[in-house]
Structure formats: structure tokens, C-alpha cells
Structure 1
């Protein structure tokens, strides 16, 4: 504050003191009026805030009634999961929406969480789901914010971040109200891909990465690696049984003795 500012502050204080001494009654009246006005304004603001809160609660209650009604309409169970769908299904004319999803005996079901009547309920037969898998990564991205006209250098912020560690350093600029910060942000670029074969047509549905965990809970047997293992095992078993049939034919033809046949058969069965 400069000399002029100090002078004006002192002068204002002196004027108020003189007015209070000379016009005590008037000043008390003014103060009372100011206090009364403040109380009125405070009460008015509090009343308005309460009205807003009541309105929000009413809207929240109405939304819950509306949601519960739609959940009953579509038979959505209490344990239905929320997943975010991106694109890929030709039967869904909208993308990047949230679905309630759950599994029954024959289908996996999807209902738009906003209950859009244009989408309604989408069902996919479990037999049409070939497999699902996840792609992409989660990683931490560091960004530098702040600085402004404070005068701190970007290099100083980077050095400070390295010294302070991954949590991010706050480097004070010359203006304390404008610090430079290093911010760590988690970036999730994963996508869950569900491969569908419907009416002899194959298409991929894309969901957010978190959907993978939901599907592991609902459809563990459709996870791609598990499907590969089961498929390989089934193929191996078919091959082994065919080999045993060939051995039996060789035994019947007298090429293998009973002892040789049983030994080779036992060795093959141990591979199952």
C-alpha cells in the first residue's frame, strides 16, 4: 500500500470517529439498520437455500420412483450391473451410453440406464457370444499446471517434481497465489471387445475397460483365453479317442498284443 493509500485510510477512520461522536444517535440508528438488513438478507438467503434443497430432494424422489417403475417394466434385477457401451452392435442405434446388464438362463440383457424407448431392451443369446477380451492399458499421465505470471520456470517445476516424487511437487512461484503444480492423472484407455456371431454374421461390440470385470463375473466361461483352453482340450480329447480306436483296430488285426494295446492305451489316457 502506498503513502496515498495509508493517508486515505487514516482520513476515513478520523471522519467516522468524528461522525460517531457528533451524531451518536444517528450512527447507532444506521448501524442498527445495517445489522437488521443483514439479518433479513441472511434469512432470505437461508430460506431460498432450503427451498432449493427441498426441490432437489423432491426431484430426486421423483427420479427414483421413475427409475423403479422402469426397472419393474424391464424386469431389471437388483444386482444388475452398469456398463458403458461404445459401439459395434447393429441392433443398437446409439453409442456411448450406459446399460443395466444382467444374465438369465439363455440371454445377456441390456437396458439403457436412461430408459430410452428407442433402444428399449436388447437381448443377446449366450450361445451367440463367442468370446470377449480386453485391449489397451492404464497409465499415469503427468501434467504441469499453474505458473501464470508468477515467474517460476518450467524447468524448476520439473526438477521439483523429480525431487518430490510421483505424488507431484508444488513449486512456489514468486506469487504465492499462483503455484506451479505437477499433477498425476490416471488414464484408462482399455476397451472390452465382445465378439458376437448372430445369424451367421460376426460383429464386435466395444465397451469401456471396466466391463471386462463385469463379464468375468457374469460370463467367465466366455473369456477368450478360457475358451481357447477348453477348445484345445476338447480337440486333444477327440484326437486321443481316435488314437485309441486305431490301437484297438491294430489289436483286432493281430498287429498289437493285448499287453501292448493296454500299455499304449494307458499312456494316452494319462494325457487327458
Structure 2
């Protein structure tokens, strides 16, 4: 029997779900993985909700720290960064800058992109058409991309030239501009940042765990994966109707 790893990760193939996977793969940290199947509502199962009261992914259990549980993807990244001393600057000011950009993703890029995706790729596919909402979220996502683009001018990564948890958090969301139908035309600094992270083998490997969903990035059988995605969240639309 193989030895249990310190970190037990519960996640799924979503933008938030990939964040801790990217960290762990980039840091070379071994971990145990439990994929969460949304179609079976495993994120709402009583045993899982004991770990994550919000019934969402991802969640980690740190077995080396009295089975300490951390939920919310940004909090997980911060916890792992402090635990392993990776992807978090040592200088207090640089740490604060990293936290600021992490919160920019958590409070802005993620929610706006998520809603743009939901109304176009899920609700609309179930007959719920909301053009005003779509325009609102797509336009705001583009504005946030422009903020990123301006900030990235002359920088390799979000916090100077150091790959940090701010990049790890922001990349899977911003890189999925295709899925949200948000244009990146004219945003050359943002696109160059995409290119740098696209070239990171560990990050690209992480995007196939627990399973690849390349349609988010405009690759593969987009139509089939769009149908799959809409179906697994079908009940969420019916609750709103």
C-alpha cells in the first residue's frame, strides 16, 4: 500500500479547480487526488460539505497538519505558498502586491468571467437568454483584461518578474477568454503573458488533471464539451427559472 501524501486535494476540471493543481504540479509536490463529479452532485454530499461548507471545489486536507482543511481556491493557494515557501515573494511589500493581484482575480476576473460563461454557455443552452447580462459581464471582463494588459507592460509576470500564486490564480480564468467570448485583440502584453505560461510544462500538465477540458481554451471538440458542460449544470438553470 502506497504511503498517503501530506496533501489530499478534492477538485474538478474548472478554472478554480485547476488553481491548486497548477501550484502542486509547478512546486513538484506529491498529493492525493479525489476528483469531484458535478453530474453526481458529489460537491453536495454530506461528507464533502463537512470539509467545505459552501459545497464547492476545490478543497484540501493537510494530513501533516492535523488534517487541517482549507477551502476557497485563493485561500488554498496562499496556504500552500506559505507551507512550501513557493511562488510567494519573501519581501513584505512584494507579498502584499501578490495578495492584491490575487484578490483582483478572486473579486473581479473570476466572478465576471464566470458569469459571462454561465449566461452564454449554460443558461442560453437551456433556453434562458439574457442579452443584457451577457453584455454586462463580457464588457466588464474585457475592462479587467485591459487593466491586466496595462499592468503587464514591461513585466514578465504580475508581480515583477516572478511567477507567483497571483499568476497561478489568474491564468486559467483569463486564458479561457474564448469560453467567455471576451476579446483579447490589441492586448499584446496580456497575450505575451499567456504565451509565457503556455510554455510552462507543469502548468499545462495540470490542465489535464483530473481530466482535460480543452474547450475552455477553444481547443478540441468544443461543441461536444459545451453540451457536456451545459448538461452537468442543467439543474442550476432550472432552479433559477
TM range (shorter): under 0.3
Bigger strand fraction:
1
Larger Rg: 1
RCO comparison, higher one (Cα < 8 Å, 6+): 2
State the TM-score, normalizing by the size of structure 2: 0.21
State the TM-score, normalizing by the size of structure 1: 0.19
